[in-house]
Structure 1
Amino acid sequence: MSSPVFLALDLPRLDAAKDLATLVKGHVGGLKLGLEFFCAHGHHGVHELAQLGLPIFLDLKLHDIPNTVAGAIQAINVLQPAIVTVHASGGRAMMEDAKAAATGKTKIIAVTMLTSLDDTDLARTGVAGSAHDQVMRLAELAQTAGIDGIVCSGQEVGHIHRQWKTGLLVVPGLRLPSGAQGDQKRTVTPRQARDAGASVLVIGRPISRAADPLAAARAIEATL
């Protein structure tokens, strides 16, 4: 991987997404396409961006019964994504079936706890303990399921890296020291996440909403 940075391209217009990706492709290692992008543009949109030659990370956060998730993975195998996400809270059997359904080149990783949530949000869903404890529990479950890695915040990645040296550890919700947090609650800087053991850094708004996206991408790259 040339760069650990995957640019999050959750933009409503395909042409705008492709223009942005083309502009900064020399300073990122891949493209992260989430639910908003996939629901708007589907397979066609993925094919269009794949033409840029960067690895595609489909952040679909699949969460359903094992058979349904396996079927969904089989349906997107034709797109040859580098990474696909499922939810760790879907359980071990679901994660095992997702991994079994994927092609050999696609890595299946599990979302532990969204970076927009904190301890208070967790308690409101009826889950006891801290966000850190919940992430560690789900990361252990994902590891025992035999998938390739997990998604967590930068606040937990160091602890997980010490326990899962070979795991693909993806950290979203990253913000620059001078940037606004927006709807993210458990944030760190890209450099902090990388130093703690993150394999992939998902960065969206600090680049896509910058006055000069190319300069922003270069500045982030320089810190790594």
Structure 2
Amino acid sequence: MGELKPDQIILALDVDTSEEALSWAKRFRGKIGTFKVGLQLYLRSGVEVLSGLQKLEVPIFLDLKFHDIPNTVGQAVRAVAPWKPRFLTVHASGGEEMMAAAVSHAPKETHVLGVTLLTSLSEEAVRAVGWHSGVDGAVRNLSTLAKKAGLAGVVCSPHEAKSERLVWGEKGEVVTPGVRPKGSKEDDQARS
């Protein structure tokens, strides 16, 4: 793999306060492509942090992993649409209809991504929750559904990225979370 371009780097603002998140965004604005706001920060400071990021004119990755009935997900996407996120996530396991509802309610500039399997799930954990095909089979099935539903791409572990790139082609988005330098703590990442 070649050198990453700044636009390919996403900084996870996995912090507790909007002040800390915006400090990181100011520090790295123009040096990386997108700033990710996950559920933790969104629930604590959603409006404040998203307003601040919009004022900084930086691309937003709203990683809320919506997973509900299609109508509810569609309305949830409509509710966050004013923030015009570059990326927005849904769980691919919610099914084709749910993912299609997300796409139909998203702003045209928003790339809806399907989370295949959480990277915290090991092979054993995937089988324990009923995916008897294991990680590879589950990711392949969920990715196929996501593509059929019209999503822009998927979120998957770096281990699945190469095969997912073949499925999605050069125009599809293949996002890999939890990527860290060698020797870093894994925390809750099982497949990063």
TM-score of the superposed pair, with normalisation by structure 1: 0.80
Q: By how many angstroms is 1:11 displaced?
A: 1.0
1:100 partnered with 2:97: no
Instruction: Look up the SS of the partner of 1:156 in the other structure.
Output: helix
**Identical aligned pairs, as a percentage?**
37
Aligned to 1:200: none
Q: Which runs of 5+ in 1 are unaligned?
A: 188-224
Aligned to 1:197: none
Q: How far apart in 2 are the matches of 1:69 and 1:81? A: 16
**Where do residues 48-87 of structure 1 align in structure 2 (5 Å cutoff)?**
48-87=52-91
The one-letter code sitting in structure 1 at the alignment partner of 2:139 is: V
Higher relative contact order (CA 8 A, sep 6+): 1
Q: How far apart in 1 are the matches of 2:116 and 2:74? A: 19
Q: By how many angstroms is 1:123 displaced?
A: 1.7
Aligned to 2:187: 182
Aligned to 2:136: 132
RMSD over equivalenced CA pairs, Å: 1.2
Aligned to 2:176: 171
Aligned to 1:123: 127
Q: By how many angstroms is 1:14 displaced?
A: 1.0
Aligned to 1:10: 14
Instruction: Look up the SS of the partner of 2:10 in the other structure.
Output: strand
Aligned to 1:21: 25
Q: By how many angstroms is 1:132 displaced?
A: 1.5
- TM superposition outliers: structure 1 runs of 4+ over 3 Å: none
Aligned to 2:40: 36
Q: By how many angstroms is 1:2 displaced?
A: 4.4
Q: Which runs of 5+ in 2 are unaligned?
A: none
TM-score of the superposed pair, with normalisation by structure 2: 0.93
1:148 partnered with 2:147: no
Q: How far apart in 2 are the matches of 1:73 and 1:151? A: 18
Instruction: Number of aligned residue pairs: give it.
Output: 187
CA deviation vs aligned residue, 1:84-129 (integer Å, no higher than 9, x gap): 0000000000001110011111111110001111111112212202
The one-letter code sitting in structure 2 at the alignment partner of 1:183 is: D
Contact 1:43–1:79 (8 Å) recurs in 2: no
